[in-house]
Amino acid sequence: MASNPLAPFREDPAGSAILLDVDGTLAPIVDHPDLSVVPPATLEVIERLAQRYGLVAFVSGRTAVDAARLVPVIGVRFIGNHGFELLEDGVLQHAPGVDEWLPIVASTARAIAPIAAEVGAWVEDKGATLSVHLREAPDPVYAHEVLVMRAVPLINAAGLGWRWGRMTLEAHPPLARDKGTAVQHLLAQHPTILRSLYAGDDETDLDAFSVVDLAIAVTSGEAPPDLVAAAAIAVAGPAGLLKLLEALADSE
């Protein structure tokens, strides 16, 4: 790797891909996802990146439509629900095999909603996936324990896969889809891309780290221990990432 790992990207932006998570990476983490905002200064830099780089895309745990709402920039791509859906020219597409699982995700969300409510958590049915949010729970540790004992067995019984994120329990169809396969899909559609980087802040971003040339950890007090170990660069929160993106957006 070059002494400055960003140098190859800045020297050949047309042959480079900038791939980013959204929450906790571009937008600071907030108590409720509806309150999340990507700062205007960050959006301005993303607009500059989109004009220079061969591919700028966002791979989010949010739905693709919701991610596009947070990043209203022309010329960028969106994959949502941890790789289970793609927003293509304004049209939402599910990954192959997802549609048959939609009613199962919905019924599982309904089944675990009362369990989550008992501990002050809440369930978000995102169509292709569901998330149980613990951040507003009075005792997140206790909420975590209850979900392990009572919600996870229901998820398993429904045949869904699951994993923990930042103060969330994520459940999804048992298909080989994640942020890593999402990145691979995007890169396969852009054969002229020679190098790629990905920035993320959570456990689910590690899958993307493994398939790009440059992995960037956006750190916080809630970051998983293996995030920094898996990355070539670590920056402090969304503010730190903004400085890095500014360096990528600036001309040589």
Alpha helices (H) along the chain: 7-11, 40-52, 64-70, 102-118, 140-146, 152-157, 179-188, 206-209, 225-230, 237-249
- In angstroms, the CA 133 to CA 153 distance is 17
Domain ranges within the chain, ordered by starting residue: 12-95+177-249, 99-172
For residue range 106-162, what is the model confidence (pLDDT) as tens digits?
Answer: 999 999 999 999 999 999 999 999 999 999 999 999 999 999 999 999 999 999 999
Q: Record the tokens describing residue 228, joined without a space.
A: 């920094």
For the purposes of burial, counting CB atoms within 10 Å of the CB of 104, is it exposed (0-12), middle (13-18) or buried (19 or more)? middle
For residue range 50-70, what is the model confidence (pLDDT) as tens digits?
Answer: 999 999 999 999 999 999 999
- The predicted pLDDT at position 88 comes to 84
Q: How is 121-144 classified by DSSP, letter by letter? A: -EEEE-SS-EEEE-TT-SSHHHHH
Q: Hey, which CATH number is domain 99-172, 3.10.20.30, 3.40.50.800, 3.30.70.1020, 3.30.1490.20?
A: 3.30.70.1020
Q: Can you tell me the mean pLDDT for 236-247?
A: 97
User: Nearest 5°: phi and psi at 198?
Assistant: -140, 135
The strand pairing partners of 122, in sequence order, are: 133
Residue 2 has pLDDT above 90, yes or no: no
Sort strands 130-133 and 161-165 into parallel, antiparallel or unpaired.
Answer: unpaired
Q: What number does CATH give the domain 12-95+177-249?
A: 3.40.50.1000
State if pTM tops 0.85. Answer: yes
